[in-house]
């Protein structure tokens, strides 16, 4: 279960959905929550052009820090009024991504819950890069929460009922399973295991050799694979379903399936690094985060974890 949960906040209001989710998870796992805000100092550097600029800039920075700290304390007080969770706040200044990465590693958080602004423009790009950096460099699971389309009609649910876990038969993809199992036990959710088969992944000669039964064989192989993984997940007393989709676009198929099945969370693993591995795996996770309306639970596993036996990863999540 979770012990320490980090929630980055930027004071924009788009993080409220993430905070609500974090509070619920913290209450159910008796975890501590840390609301963290980082003030970027870059916006103040231009004020030092005049002789008295240094003094002016210092005053502005101090005023901005006081205002941000006041907002953080008010946000924490608002949270404490609705939950019994242990809530703390922290304010830092500097490059946002660097500060958050360092803070997350030093405090050994079990989970990072953060919102994506879900809109276009510089703000979305900046916050999206922060999310990507935390996933790529901390190794800590990141639960990306989409903000509501309208604050007059928030999407907050009492719990996550369905968690979708896309699998491709690789050790990497299966690294999402322990985190999905952990979350499912906490929320009382069911898990749906999905395999997306892509005809373009097979050479034309291979398809011709198996024709017309090549697809039947691939589907049969996928069914056996999903059945085996599902049986192991069920040992944790978690209702588990399986399904297979055939599509040339893996990420689009995952997002569409999640919508049709009303899955509130998509749990996915990513290499999150450069090179071919990132192109094959990271791009799918990024596309899912960008396109899905559901929350996305992402983790970049260590290389040693990927090399370990895939099914062992499922069994590492101890029953409650």
Q: What is the pLDDT of residues 153-182, one digit of tens each?
A: 455 557 899 999 999 888 888 999 999 999
pTM recorded for the entire structure = 0.82
Model pLDDT, residue 48: 45
pLDDT in the model for residue 44? 44
The domains found in the chain, sorted by start residue, are: 4-145 (3.40.50.620), 162-315 (3.40.50.620)
* Surface-to-core class of residue 233, CB atoms within 10 Å of its CB (0-12 exposed, 13-18 middle, 19+ buried): buried
pLDDT of residue 308: 53
- Under DSSP, the state recorded for 148 is P
The SS3 call for residue 237 is coil
Dump the DSSP string for 302-313: -HHHHHS-HHHH
Position 58 pLDDT exceeds 80: no
What's the pLDDT at 35? 96
Task: Report whether 291 contacts 251 (CB < 8 A).
Answer: yes
Average pLDDT over residues 15-22: 90
- Quick one: pLDDT at residue 31? 94
User: Rg (Cα) of the chain, in Å, rounded?
Assistant: 22
DSSP 320: -
72 phi, psi to nearest 5 deg: -65, -45
The span from the CA of 179 to the CA of 165, in Å, is 10
Q: Which of 137, 165, 140 is nearest to 268 (CA)?
A: 165
**What is the per-residue pLDDT for 285?**
84
Mean pLDDT score of the chain:
80
DSSP string for 154-191: ----SS--EEEEEE-SSHHHHTTHHHHHHHHHHHT-EE
């Amino acid at each position: 279960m979770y012990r320490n949960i980090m929630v980055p906040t930027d004071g924009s209001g788009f993080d409220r959905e993430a905070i609500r989710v974090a509070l619920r998870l913290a209450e159910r796992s008796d975890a501590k929550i840390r609301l963290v805000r980082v003030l970027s100092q870059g916006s103040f550097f231009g004020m030092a052009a005049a002789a008295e600029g240094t003094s002016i800039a210092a005053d502005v920075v101090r005023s901005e820090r006081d205002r941000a700290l006041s907002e953080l304390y008010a946000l924490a007080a608002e949270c404490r009024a609705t939950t019994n969770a242990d809530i703390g706040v922290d304010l830092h200044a500097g490059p946002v991504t660097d500060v958050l990465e360092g803070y997350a590693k030093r405090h050994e958080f079990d989970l990072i819950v953060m919102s994506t602004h879900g809109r276009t423009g510089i703000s979305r790009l900046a916050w999206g890069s922060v999310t990507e950096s935390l996933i790529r460099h901390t190794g800590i699971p990141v639960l990306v929460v989409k903000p509501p389309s309208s604050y007059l009609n928030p999407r907050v649910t009492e719990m996550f009922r369905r968690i979708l876990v896309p699998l491709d038969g690789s050790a990497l993809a299966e690294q999402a399973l322990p985190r999905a199992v952990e979350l499912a036990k906490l929320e009382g959710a069911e898990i749906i295991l999905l395999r997306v088969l892509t005809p373009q992944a097979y050479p034309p000669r291979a398809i011709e050799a198996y024709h017309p039964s090549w697809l039947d064989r691939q589907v049969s192989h996928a069914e056996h694979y999903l059945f085996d993984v599902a049986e192991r997940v069920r040992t944790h007393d978690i209702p588990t379903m399986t399904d297979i989709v055939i599509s040339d676009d893996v990420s689009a198929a995952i997002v569409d399936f999640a919508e049709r099945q009303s899955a509130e969370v998509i749990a996915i693993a990513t290499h999150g690094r450069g090179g071919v591995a990132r192109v094959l795996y990271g791009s799918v996770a990024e596309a899912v985060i960008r396109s899905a309306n559901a929350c996305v639970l992402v983790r970049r596993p260590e290389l040693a974890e990927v090399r370990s036996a895939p099914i062992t990863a499922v069994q590492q999540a101890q029953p409650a």
